[in-house]
Amino acid sequence: MNDCRMTKERMILALYGELDPAEKERLDAHLRSCPDCASEYASLEAALRLMDRRERPDPGPAFWEGYWDRLSKRMLWESIENGRRPSPAGRLARAFSRLPRWSLQAAAAAALLLVGILVGGRLIPRPGAPGPETAAAGPSSAIAAPSPAVVQAENFIDRSKVLLLGLVNFDPAVEDAYALDLARTKAVSRELLTEAADVRRGLSQPGQRRLRDLVAELEVIMLQIANLESGQDLEGVELVKQGVDSKSLFLKIDLDRMSRAGGGAALPPAPGGVGSSNKSRV
Amino acid sequence: MDESAIIEGMARGEERAFRELVERYKKKVYYLSLDMAGNPVDAEDISQEVFLKVYRSFATFRRGAKLGSWLYRVTYNAAIDHLRRKGAAPEPVADEVLELRSQDGAGLPRSRAADPVAAAEESELQARIAKALEKVSPQERAVFLLRHNEDLMLKDIAETLGLSIGSVKSYLFRAVRKLQKELCGAAPVAGLEAPHE
């Protein structure tokens, strides 16, 4: 009986060609003299032949072609989640590579317009405002370092923008369903949502009102994303896109970033929104 | 780009080398993940996890080792971790996933499409095989599939997965006996000890 039990282990090794010749010889001799083991050997062989016919479902060419893009997006998410941002060049390259051509043209036009407004605002003195000479003679013309609350808000806005870019640039008409990792998008939006209230509370200074409004608008969009149906809720995604578009969120985000880079100019007033009566330089 | 160029490029942190590595090994990593997790959604998640780990910790790759073997090991560990986190056995593939994957013929062998009877028989066989594999533990399944599908020798599997040769044999014996029982109705597994690793 013990011989038979040991033989069963040797049978499997023999079927995979991993039994040395002497052992194989002994096994063959045993199988010739033991009908039970011979039957067992045939049964094992039949099972392995069936396993030879096993097929693994091929996810299809669209899946493989989009694999790298999805992996890249995930790497980007994780770098954002971990607070380790990719290099500015890498970020720009990734963001611009996903933008449609028209949006680049619109962004370029908006940038030119803003530069014109900023330059014009500095060169042409407003009535009652000190002239360039007066300004130069002031206590300091250096730009103050942003407060921790503003840095936190900018971080929140940057991460929200990356998330929204992935969603807005997803086109179900030309991309496969796997190009959009909706589950991950929702997970990141939930994380952003948990931070949003803190970020808003930190922006309590009067001059931070527009930044606070922008964070609040992003918070609403994040809530919409977090509440998307599980699976591929393309209808819900379309509604989010429309919300982003109607609120001109990308334009506001870009203007916010550019105004800060340009020395503290405020966001343009939200059309009809809170603070639209606040007179701004822009 | 050959394997040594990929390794050198990865060591220098070149994205091009990483992309080449992903393109070259994505199918092997995905399919081993699929074999272990049992469903395509988890399989993609695990396979991405593997490449992220490879990207982050390439410094731990031992020069002179085979890149493919290392990737199998990372995949095996990632899949085991994934299954432990989920605290569950591999899930059967959800209907909607199958439906989604079968669009454009993905997941269906094209040669059988014209013969519905053969397709039905084959489909039944594939279902039996899938059900049989569900009875095999992830560790046993990994060893079995690396031997059966990837044709790795047992000593190479032991090295790849960081197991003793005795454990590898034990996992293989148990896997084969369970498959035999499910597919051919053989007697229950007897006399085979579970590995202690």
The verdict on ipTM greater than 0.95 is: no
**Distances, alpha carbon A221 to alpha carbons A90, A95, A160, B129, B169, in Å:** 26, 20, 9, 46, 55
Q: Residues B6-33: what's their mean pLDDT?
A: 93
CA distance A163 to A185: 7
More confident residue, B116 or A215: A215
C-alpha–C-alpha distance, residues B191 and A81, integer Å: 50
Question: Taking residues A120-125, what's their average pLDDT?
Answer: 59
Under an 8 A CB cutoff, do A58 and B106 touch? yes
Report pLDDT for A136.
Answer: 39
Residue B151 CB burial class (10 angstroms; 0-12, 13-18, ≥19): exposed
- Nearby residues of A8 by Cβ (< 8 Å), 6 or more positions away: A37, A40, B173, B177, B191
Whole-number Å distance between alpha carbons of B27 and B30: 5
For residues A128 and A7, the model is more confident at A7
The domains of chain B, with CATH numbers, are 1-89 (1.10.1740.10), 113-190 (1.10.10.10)
- Residues B44, A178: C-beta atoms closer than 8 Å: yes
CB A12 within 8 A of CB B174: no
Cβ distance of A57 and B98 shorter than 8 Å: yes
Query: Residue A174 and residue A156: Cα distance in Å, rounded?
Result: 30
CA B78 to chain A, closest CA, distance in angstroms equals 16
The distance of B160 to chain A (nearest Cα, Å) reads 17
Is pLDDT of A110 > 80? no
d(CA A244, CA A99): 15
Average pLDDT over residues B43-57: 92
Whether the CB of B151 is below 8 Å from some CB of chain A: the reply is: no
Q: Write out the DSSP string of A130-150.
A: --HHHHHTSS--SPPPPPHHH
Helices and strands per DSSP (H, E), number in chain B = 9, 0
Summarize the confidence of residues A53-73 as an average pLDDT.
Answer: 90
Query: A131 pLDDT band (50/70/90 cuts)?
Result: very low
User: Which residue reads 């699976």 in tokens?
Assistant: A231
What is the C-alpha to C-alpha distance for residues A85 and A80, in angstroms, rounded to an integer?
6
**Do the Cβ atoms of B130 and B40 come closer than 8 Å?**
no
B116-158 pLDDT, tens per residue? 788 888 888 888 998 899 899 988 999 999 999 889 999 999 9
